[in-house]
Amino acid sequence: MSALPFTPAESTLIRADFPILTRTVRGDRPLVYLDSGATSHKPRQVLDAERHFYEHLNAAVHRGAHQLSEEGTDAYEAARHTVARFIGAQDDEIVFTRNATEAINLVAYAFSNGAAGGGGGMGERFRLRPGDEVLVTEMEHHANLVPWQEVCRRTGATLRWVPVTPQGRLDLTSLDGLLTERTKVFAFTHASNVLGTVNPVRELADRAHAVGALAVLDACQSVPHLPVAVTELGVDLVAFSGHKMLGPLGVGVLWGRAEILDEMPVFLTGGSMIEMVTMEGSTYAPAPQKFEAGVPVAAQAVGLAAACDYLTALGMDRVHAHELMLVRRLLDGLAQRPWVRVIGPTDLTDRGSVVAFDVDGVHPHDVGQVLDDQGIAVRVGHHCAWPLHRALGVAATTRASFAAYTTAAEVDTLLEALDRVPAVFGLEVAS
């Protein structure tokens, strides 16, 4: 039997774990938070775990031999184990970073350092040269685009991209021409942060490997919302952030297959990541330590582990089912409003839980303002995916996005509030 959305009674219990959901905004209006794709709220269990670390275990982990240092290090490494288990990985394949953007930059800079012959990496596959190509897609968040533009600029490699169809899916017919023996890396998103499209990761990874390219996945909008087992995806490296999955700000994750991490040149250097240092030069620790320079984000990692435990207890299959129920409800509601156009797939096949739309004749900033006045928080703008908006011929969109704590009643509130938008701007709409 397939997983079911949360019942109203379960929803009430879940929401009680999130203190911020009881606050009011813009006067005395209850907060209707539909911006979890930007950042999610954090349950008390996560806040307690972070606080517990600071109150009882606080130490610079992987340093010193005193008891706090031991216990803090144990907590940090236990967090690594929890996060690894959450995505079906081995402990030493998990690298903690400050966020997903840093995780992707870590990989991009590994290619830069590889090209320069530095970084302690021996891997030939990380040497980018003029004539080599980096492939991305037109639906990427700037975090999985700009670092690759920069690495191409530094190495002389060429950036190419897979176009998006008007329906908001990747144009896979273009892959034959774009993936060649020149392609050294193919970086793409699992789930679009604008369209909600879930890409065929396994197929894309296999196609990348067929030409000898590395497959790098931006999983920021998938790991928090659907069951993900990294080893089944077929990719080599995966980046995601903690704060979008009920975890704290300030911690992200890079997962990499062990042999890939082993070959990969380092990015940030300094304390913690070394094996031996002399005045003339240094050798580096094995992964994941060689990618974790400086005092690690231990309290945040512990908080993220608590978020993984929280999501595991809810069941990721049920979180996914719940969010798809909300997406269906919103898409159905929007379909009854011909003055609203959904930007992205309108069926639930291979779909995540963000819904972007355009209100006829009203700029998204103005839509968001009217919704905010009624206590509804949505995202407006280009959502850090400016080229995608340009490709689809819109300057900006309004986006609603969900999490486990979002309710069907909140989707209904959004739909009712949307009905007030055209009138504010003196527009008449057919109902």
Catalytic site residues? 384
Task: Closer to another protein by CB, 137 or 374: give it.
Answer: 374
Structure token digits, residue 224: 């928090």
The CA-based angle 116-119-123, given to 5 degrees, is 80
Our CB check for another protein shows the closer of 84 and 388 to be 388
Beta strands (DSSP E) in 169-248 are: 183-189, 214-218, 237-241
**Is 423 near another protein (CB under 8 A)?**
no
CA distance 237 to 200: 16
Choose which of 84, 370, 400, 403 interacts with another protein (CB under 8 A).
370
Q: Which is nearer to another protein, 269 or 369 (CB)?
A: 369
Torsion of CA 225, 229, 234, 238, to 10 degrees: 60
CA dihedral 148, 191, 98, 34 (to 10 degrees): 130
Task: Report the nearest approach of another protein to the CB of residue 371 (Å).
Answer: 11
**Residue with smaller CB distance to another protein, 277 or 424:** 424
List 306, 356, 380, 392, residue binding another protein (CB under 8 A): 380
Which tokens sit at 392? Answer: 């689809």
The number of C-alpha atoms within 13 Å of 300 and in the hemisphere containing its C-beta is: 17
Please list every residue from 384 through 403 that binds another protein, using CB under 8 A: 386, 389, 395-396
Stretch that binds another protein, among 78-86, 114-122, 310-318, 381-389 (CB under 8 A): 381-389
Helix orientation angle between 408-419 and 316-335, rounded to the nearest 10 degrees: 20
From the CB of 382, what's the least distance to another protein, in Å? 5
Stretch of 102-110, 206-214, 315-323, 376-384 contacting another protein, by CB under 8 A? 376-384
375 binds another protein (CB under 8 A): no
Candidates 16, 67, 409, 425; binder of another protein (CB under 8 A) is: 425
Q: Do 174 and 163 form a contact (C-beta atoms < 8 A)? A: yes
Tell me how far, at minimum, the Cβ of 380 lies from another protein, in Å: 7
Answer yes or no: are the C-beta atoms of 304 and 43 closer than 8 Å: no
Contacts of residue 249, Cβ cutoff 8 Å, sequence gap at least 6: 39, 242, 243, 300
Considering the complex, state which of residue 193 and residue 199 has its C-beta at the smaller distance from another protein: 193
Supply φ then ψ for residue 365, to 5 degrees. -60, -40
Residue 240 bridge partners (DSSP): 253
Closer of 54 and 425 to another protein (Cβ): 425
- Which of 1, 426, 430, 431 binds another protein (CB under 8 A)? It is 426
User: Considering the rule CB under 8 A, would residue 381 count as an interface residue with another protein?
Assistant: yes
What is the DSSP secondary structure assignment for residue 252, as one 8-state letter? E
Provide, rounded to whole angstroms, the least separation between the CB of residue 364 and another protein.
7
Contacts with another protein, residue ranges (CB under 8 A): 362-366, 369-370, 373, 380-382, 386, 389, 395-396, 424-426
